[in-house]
Amino acid sequence: LVDEAIEEINLAKNSTTLNNIRVKYLGKKGLVTSLMKKLKELPQEERPKFGALVNDAKNTIQAKINDKFQEISALEKMQKYEKLAVDISLPGARKDIGHLHILSQVQKELEDIFISMGFEVVEGPEVEDTWHNFDALNTPDWHPARDVQDSFYFTEEKLLRTHTSPVQVRTMLKRKPPLAIVSPGRVYRRDYDSTHLPMFTQMEVLYIDQNVTIKHLKFTLEEMAKRIFGENSKVRLRPSFFPFTEPSYEIDVWFGDTWLEILGAGMVDPNVFKNVGYDPTKWSGFAFGLGLERVAMVKYGIKDIRDFIRNDIKFLENY
């Protein structure tokens, strides 16, 4: 009987089976217990011997069960913890959080560059009047930019600003020189193809002080180019025309292997100073304006300007 019990105990794989075995042998109606009960039926002289035998059997089985129980419960504990265990070496699941649009990033980068040079960021309205957008900026009545073919008009006198230069006008009217400001913002023109959008983003820079020369302009442009396009970039000035600057320049930036035309610049025209009540014999200044989309396209090799407004998540995630 003991051998049989031991064999069963050895085979037991979990605590439930083991408990069943215990009940089978040592329970109230168990095999060992019923042997005990037979004791009374035996003749007096055989009882002690038999009793000792059954007791031995009981103790042996109980001890064996106890050992096995220890073993099994340790194992079951292990299995339970293995199931609950967390592999702390696995990489965490990343939450996809949004980020600034590439244009906002470029705008911020440029703002930071100019702020570090002592400029202040100023903003103004996108709905302008023709005086701030054209007249104050010395733009003659016959200028093509004034044409309804080129600009978005609400009325004869109200339009969507075609550049952020009117912000400079508003600031000059409000303050006295010297002045060092940058004005980023959306501007509107009737244009649409792979390099033009009817709504795009400009940043204009204006610096006014006494004895400002083209050298100051060139230095500022070079500093800006180096900081956004890299140490090796160079800047080239080509004669051009804008109503509000004299002389005026197209600015090319050397970028790796080609010259790219990315901005317009010049020395503030004395007529602009007169229009805002600054003395042109006392004050001088430079101004330049750049398209942020153009800067981002050059910097990141983006081919189609329309990508900026397509909201294609695959495109946006790249930057």
Give the residue ranges of the annotated binding site.
246
Tokens of 115: 């702020």
Per rule CB under 6 A, is residue 287 in the interface with ligand PHE? yes
249 near 268, Cβ under 8 Å?
Answer: no
Closer to ligand PHE by CB, 184 or 264: give it: 264
Neighbours of 17 (CB within 10 A): 15
Helices (H) and strands (E) in the chain, counts: 12, 9
Please list the residues that pair with 253 across neighbouring strands: 235, 260
Closest residue to ligand PHE, judged by C-beta, is 289
Residue whose C-alpha is closest to residue 168's, from 281, 66, 286: 286
The stretch near ligand PHE (CB under 6 A) out of 1-9, 95-103, 216-224, 283-291 is 283-291
Q: Do the strands 284-291 and 258-268 form a parallel or antiparallel pair, or are they unpaired? A: antiparallel
Closer to ligand PHE by CB, 9 or 137: give it: 137
CA distance 217 to 220: 5
* Number of residues engaging ligand PHE in binding (CB under 6 A): 11
Per rule CB under 6 A, is residue 217 in the interface with ligand PHE? no
Q: How far is the CB of 148 from ligand PHE (least distance, A)?
A: 18
Question: Using CB under 6 A, which of 130, 138, 139, 245 touches ligand PHE?
Answer: 245
Question: Using CB under 6 A, which of 129, 204, 269, 293 touches ligand PHE?
Answer: 204
For the annotated binding site for Mg(2+), the residues are: 246
Site for ligand PHE in 162-201 (CB under 6 A): 163, 165
Per rule CB under 6 A, is residue 284 in the interface with ligand PHE? no
Question: Using CB under 6 A, which of 114, 207, 229, 242 touches ligand PHE?
Answer: 242
The residue assigned the tokens 């703002």 is 111
Q: How many residues are given for the chain?
A: 319
**What's the Cα-to-Cα distance from 121 to each of 12, 184, 203, rounded to whole Å?**
80, 8, 10
Contacts of 192 (CB under 8 A, 6+ apart): 198
Exposed, middle or buried by CB within 10 Å (0-12, 13-18, 19+), for 311? exposed
Over the range 206-226, which residues count as b (16 or more CB within 10 Å of their CB) and which as e? bbbeeebeeebbbebbeebbb
Site for ligand PHE in 246-265 (CB under 6 A): 264-265
Q: How far is the CB of 145 from ligand PHE (least distance, A)?
A: 8
The stretch near ligand PHE (CB under 6 A) out of 43-51, 147-155, 281-289, 300-308 is 281-289
Binding mask 74-103 for ligand PHE (x = CB under 6 A): ------------------------------
Footprint of ligand PHE (CB under 6 A): 163, 165, 204, 242, 245, 264-266, 287-289
